[in-house]
Structure 1
Amino acid sequence: MEKKWWHRSVVYQIYPRSFKDTSGNGVGDLRGIIEKLDYLKELGIDVIWLSPVYKSPMDDNGYDISDYQDIAPEFGTMADMDELIEEANARGIRLVMDLVVNHTSDEHPWFLEAKKSKDNPYRDYYIWRDPAEDGGVPNDLGSTFSGPAWEYDETTGQYYFHLFSKRQPDLNWENPKVREEVHQMMNFWLEKGIGGFRMDVIDLIGKEVDRKITGNGPQLHPFLQEMNHKSFGNYDVLTVGETWGATPEIAKLYSDPKRHELSMVFQFEHASIDWDPQEGKWRPTTFDFIKFKEIMSKWQTSLNGEGWNSLFWNNHDLPRIVSRWGNDKEYRVETAKMFASILHLMQGTPYIYQGEEIGMTNVHFESLDQYNDIETLQFYRDNLKKGYTHEQMMDAIWKNGRDNARTPMQWDGSEHAGFTTGQPWLQVNPNYESINVSNALDNKDSIFYHYKKLIDLRKNSEYSDTIIYGEYKLLLPDDEQIFAYIREDENYKLLLVANFSEEEVTRAIEGEVNQVILSNYDATDYNLSSLKLRPYETVIFELKK
């Protein structure tokens, strides 16, 4: 496989609304990100994935764009954006923009025009259908945010299609003019010197609504190949697609370099392992550790040499991993370091979500009024009608609601965690006085410095090529408590062993230790023939070959 710069990179996702506010309006902004670039440089990351900062009415916190080539006033100006790109690049940090092109805002000029009449030049930029014979919706396709995916327009007597909020009408990708507009917009940003795109729900752009096909439609890959050819394929950039329905075979279609589509995709098989198959995340089920190891390992081995993995636990849509599958109370630090080690020693490009590097936790707001997320509030309203109890729904929100990841970044122990001098748009997690960046930087044994060591190990150590390109082999697949695997190439053989439990365990593992590379406890003398591990203890060894 041809080596690429992003094979060696570590990405840090910023949800700008919650990162750092410099204006005092309670909303994070671009100047706040500029202010914290040296912090990110200290961590060691070299790519920022920036969630949307485009002009937007913020129905879905910026994932509803009304102007792709302007900045939302609450985040700043285009001059701020240009400065951010320049200042990041000066520190060796590339900026990856969030690309949301499955849909726009209903306030986008294209849609405002499209609604005027059936023969408007922009009408075919969106998906319209006549009512069914009974006068109702054209078909039974549903919105991800619940309810039908069709909204009636009184002016023209037709329905328009929206897979998300009714204020997020889907673009008609079968219209070549739409594709041309998108390619031009992407080139506008690429010319500014950005480092690539993260592509929101990109697996939906090939949809065929009449055949009720939404994900992985027949035109999806031709559309992506055309996009590659007419925009980012002409630049040395990173592209990552959000693909909820991807299998390893589908992921290879996207990320095999020979196909000229994307650098990599986000797959969510591991991220949905404890969701009910029918009800989804709002009906959490038991975490299956054996299946989890199997899924993680399948993706490691299946894409090796033919595609590329994105490695992540958290993002703006997912609850925080230390609370979800770990112990965020007495073993919060050990758990957070364990998850970091497991992920960063795998093959692929690791993604860190803001606050993950200091072990930020899920939030437990008592009142529904304290939540902001459109999906969460819609879920509550809809399921109250279905007979769910308030207690059932709040429990699901505490476990899996998107606002778990969106509470403001905890910078220090001052009011509002140093995020803002004003009233934050979303309440800060009450544990900010103990869990914050200032405390983490003052403690050389903190989660932050563990991440820093892992990043350095991947990017700057003698083991870099082994971690990035070496073969992966799962050990002890049926063990109920241990996650252990080997990474090996012609030069080195590395072993990671993680105790994924709150109990002390002893296991026998084949091999002879050359040295301990990194541990999340004070390292002791480890004997592989009788390896004793404390709760959540995780060790990376170099073995004799």
Structure 2
Amino acid sequence: MRIRDTGDLWWKNAVIYCLDVETFMDWDDDGIGDFGGLVQRIDHLADLGVTCLWLMPFYPTADLDDGYDIKDFLGVDPRLGDVSDFVELIRTARDRGIRVIADLVVNHTSDQHPWFKAARRSKDSPYRDFYVWRADEPPPTHDEVMFPDEEQGIWTYDEQAGEWYRHRFYRHQPDLNTANPQVRDAIAKSIGYWMQLGLSGFRVDAVPYFVSGTADDHADGLDDPHDLLRELRGFLGRRRGDAILMGEVNVPYEEQRRYFGVETRTGDEDDVQGPVGQELTLQLDFNAMQYLFLSLARQDVAPLVDTLRARPAIPRDTQWATFLRSHDELTLDRLTDEERQEIFAAFGPEPHMQIFDRGLRRRLPPMLDGDPRRLRNAYSLLFALPGTPVLFYGEEIGMGENLDVPGRLSVRTPMQWTAERNAGFSRAQPRRLVAPPPDGGYAPEHVNVADQRRDPDSMYTFMQMLIRRYRECPELGWGEVEILEQPEPSVLAMRSTWQDASMVTLHNIGPEATTVTLELDDIPADTRLVDLLQNGEQVIGKDGKVEVTLDSYGYRWLRISRPESRRLL
């Protein structure tokens, strides 16, 4: 494959940036962000180096779950603008080389959606089977709810309908029966509509929780969630060949592999040669994220190394999406109770920092005590991991959370543009803001875009450089990764190789400086290792070894520069 061919699978080394329109930039001064404000700030994303913008839900909503309780899959929340404003965003982003994807929420609707209103009126309604009902009182289901602090079970009795409806999430979000062919047709219609307006794909919310009705209702096999994903991927591909589905699939690796739609050709479970993925294009890697935080808490890379080695083989046209923080709580549900408590003790010891007994409602900078060395080390590690990095808005400047804002919304405060009132997000009265910015050391007067853009030593400048270097290194997104054994438990050494390009990344997640000895026997003596993140280079000795010093929380990206290489360094 030639370097120019990497654009065909653009997601393999993209930089994805997630934001909520209502908290990014307010242009009509009502205290709520809007598409007009996002368009005005698109050059910030282009300057940062973002190549793909992921929009959280912007559809009409009852707004009881920050937009995930949708009333109309084909509309725009009037507080944010209208369809023409959305089209202007797509056009402006495309002009800057930025693709746009959006949340696809097909697990449930709002109970204010016209479908549910019609469904609850009569058992004979054509929309009745759009949802999942039962006539008898269900057994206790508290252990199945997603939000145990707020719901007691996944079934709620509806007086008007005279039956119980299912909701894996909140009671105001009745589950769609995605085994119903009419529901699938409606989902496809929504996908086709937004694709026609310019989207490059979707992030599919809560994939493992698609509701499939009952076996008696769907004996034809439509109750298979993988069948639905194959349908959606096929429809997406017919409409636009380079569009993607990125899935939220928080399950163990052995289950997660299936959601790529791997179809082996020889019966061998490890035979995934060729572009054979038929379902999700990317999957957010919750396993690596959780064990990365366990490694940070212990200052020992072993949990992360073990997890990376446990990653299953996947088709060449698919990819893992790596991240540190997201719009949700920092979930730790894949860990044991003891491991979870280690992370709580290290990064969120106070009860009000924790949520649902399984996660943290904090952003990364306060978790790392605002230490710029630890913060830069963590993001350097994120971009060095095999996969496509995903950023949440505000990470590029080191924003903190506001724990006075309830629940998961503590990390969804307004983007901090300037040190002025309301963080430069809005000119509305502060009481009208969608949420208040944090105070203290992470207040806008201390953390904002305007100041950091002018500071060559700022977090923003570092992230800008990191993204540029990542984009210049296709071996990070495309290459084969080898974990290099090291005696120091705080050091992770990885070698990424793609075609004639190869580099070694080193990360010391501990507070003590150390020296790393690399053994690169296949590389000729006197070959240079050029540091891409700071000035300097190393030379491989005649024994194939080279020593590299890592400071406290130090990190190095070393490009192997062979004499015949013509790559710019």
TM range (shorter): 0.7 to 0.9
Distance 2:107 2:120 in 1: 18
The CA distance in 2 between the partners of 1:444 and 1:45, in whole Å, is 19
Q: Please report how far the alpha carbon of residue 504 of structure 1 lies from its aligned counterpart in structure 2 after TM superposition.
A: 2.2
The 3-state SS of whatever aligns with 2:518 is coil
From 489, 506, 509, give the equivalent of 2:498: 489
- Out of 538, 542, 545, the residue aligned to residue 555 of structure 2 is 538
Q: Map 1:154-303; keep pairs closer than 5 Å.
A: 154-207=159-212, 219-235=224-240, 236-247=242-253, 250-251=256-257, 253-254=259-260, 256=262, 257-273=275-291, 289-299=301-311, 302-303=313-314
Aligned to 2:144: 142
Q: How many Å separate the matches in 2 of 1:302 and 1:230? A: 25
Provide the residue aligned with 1:441 in structure 2. Answer: 453
**Given the alignment of the two structures, is residue 328 of structure 1 paired with residue 342 of structure 2, yes or no?**
no
Instruction: Report the 3-state secondary structure (helix = DSSP H, G, I; strand = E; otherwise coil) of the residue aligned with 1:5.
Output: helix
Partner of 2:478: 469
Amino acid aligned to 1:537: G
Q: 1:258 to 1:206 in 2, by over 3 A?
A: farther
Structure 2: which amino acid aligns with 1:310?
Answer: A
Residue in structure 2 matched with residue 316 of structure 1 by the alignment = 327
Matches within 5 A, 1:402-441: 402-422=408-428, 423=430, 424-430=433-439, 431=442, 432-441=444-453
Is the CA contact 2:177–2:213 (under 8 Å) kept in the aligned structure 1? Answer: no
Q: Structure 1 residues 273, 488: closer, same or farther in 2, change over 3 A?
A: closer
- Residue 455 of structure 1 is matched in structure 2 by 467
Q: Letter of the 1:29 partner, please give it.
A: D
Evaluate the alpha carbon distance shift between residue 156 and residue 253 of structure 1 in structure 2; reply closer, same or farther with a 3 A threshold. Answer: closer
- SS of the aligned residue for 1:433 comes to coil
Contact kept? 1:248, 1:303, Cα under 8 Å: no
Give the Cα separation in 2 of the matches to 1:487 and 1:275. 22
Distance (whole Å) between structure 1 residues aligned to residue 142 and residue 329 of structure 2:
27
Look up the SS of the partner of 1:121 in the other structure.
coil
Letter in 2 for 1:495: V
Structure 2: segments with no counterpart, 5+ residues:
217-221, 263-274, 331-361, 521-525, 540-544, 563-569
Q: What letter is aligned with 1:60? A: D
Residues 11, 388 of structure 2: 8 Å contact kept = yes
CA RMSD between the two structures: 2.9
The Cα shift of 1:202 comes to 1.9
Structure 2 CA distance for partners of 1:104 and 1:481, relative to 1, 3 Å: same
C-alpha spacing 1:54/1:505, structure 2 compared with 1 (3 Å): same
Partner of 1:349: 388
For the pair 1:109 / 2:114, whether they are aligned, the reply is yes
Given the alignment, which residue of 129, 142, 148 partners 1:124?
129
Q: Which of 511, 519, 527 lines up with 1:502 in the alignment?
A: 511
The superposition leaves residues 459-498 of structure 1 with CA deviations (integer Å, 9 ceiling, x where unpaired) of 3x3x43x223221011236643112211123413211111
Contact 1:190–1:232 (Cα < 8 Å) also in 2: no
Residue 557 of structure 2 aligns to a residue whose secondary structure is strand
Separation of aligned partners in 2, 1:275 and 1:140: 28
**SS at 2:178 equivalent:** coil
Q: CA deviation at 1:509?
A: 2.6
How far, CA to CA, are the matches of 1:343 and 1:486 in structure 2?
15
Cα offset, 1:273, TM superposition? 4.0
| Deviates further, 342-351 or 235-244 | 342-351
Give the whole-Å Cα distance in 2 for the aligned partners of 1:249 and 1:104: 26
The 3 A distance-change label for structure 1 pair 139 and 343 is closer
Q: Deviations over 1:388-433 (max 9, x none)?
A: xxxxxxxxxxxxxx23421221111111211122222222022221
Select 2:532's aligned residue among 504, 518, 522.
Answer: 518
Q: Secondary structure at 1:498's aligned position in 2?
A: strand
Equivalent residue, structure 1, for 2:98: 93
Residue type of the partner of 1:322?
L
Task: Give yes or no for contact 2:414–2:425 (8 Å, CA) kept in 1.
Answer: yes
Partner deviation per Cα, 1:305-325 (whole Å, 9 max, x = no partner): 474111211210145663476
CA-CA distance at 1:184 after TM superposition: 0.8
Q: Distance in 1 between matches of 2:364 and 2:322?
A: 16
Question: What is the count of residue pairs matched by the alignment?
Answer: 488
In structure 1, runs of 5+ residues without a counterpart are: 212-216, 277-283, 377-401
Q: Does the residue aligned with 1:72 lie in a helix, a strand or coil? A: coil
**What's 1:371 paired with?**
405
Task: Say if 1:6 and 1:117 are closer, same or farther in 2 by CA, change over 3 A.
Answer: same
C-alpha separation in 2, matches of 1:510 and 1:304: 30
The 3 A distance-change label for structure 1 pair 156 and 470 is closer
**Distance change in 2, residues 1:127/1:162 (3 Å):** same
- Cα offsets for 1:507-532 (capped at 9, x unmatched): 3233476143333xx64676875433
Could you tell me the TM-score, scaled by structure 2's length?
0.79
On the 8 A contact 2:276/2:315 being kept in 1, the answer is no
Where 2:172 maps in the other structure, the secondary structure is coil
Question: 2:111, 2:174 within 8 Å by CA — same for their partners in 1?
Answer: yes
**Distance 1:418-1:346 versus aligned 2 partners, 3 A rule:** same
Q: Deviations over 1:293-343 (max 9, x none)?
A: 3224543x7337474111211210145663476x332x22x2232222222
Q: Which amino acid aligns with 1:433?
A: E
Aligned partner of residue 291 in structure 1, secondary structure:
helix
**Displacement of 1:90 after TM fit?**
1.9
Partner of 1:381: none
Query: Quick one: which amino acid aligns to residue 485 of structure 1?
Result: M
Q: Aligned letter for 1:314?
A: R
Contact 1:200 1:242 in 2 (8 A): yes
Query: Would the alpha carbon gap of residues 17 and 296 (structure 1) be closer, same or farther in structure 2, given more than 3 Å must change?
Result: farther
Under a length normalisation based on structure 1, what TM-score does the superposition of the two structures give?
0.82
SS in structure 2 of the partner of residue 508 of structure 1 = strand
Question: What SS does the aligned partner of 2:18 have?
Answer: strand
Q: Is the 8 A contact 2:285 2:323 kept in 1?
A: no
**How far apart, CA to CA, are the structure 1 residues paired with 2:445 and 2:172?**
38
> Residues of 2 paired with 1:345 and 1:516: CA distance?
16
* Identity across matched positions, percent: 29
**How far, CA to CA, are the matches of 1:53 and 1:433 in structure 2?**
29
Equivalent residue letter for 1:328: D
For the Cα contact (< 8 Å) 1:513–1:541, is it kept in 2?
A: no
Structure 1 residues 406 and 155, CA gap change in structure 2 (3 angstroms): same
Amino acid at match of 1:266: L
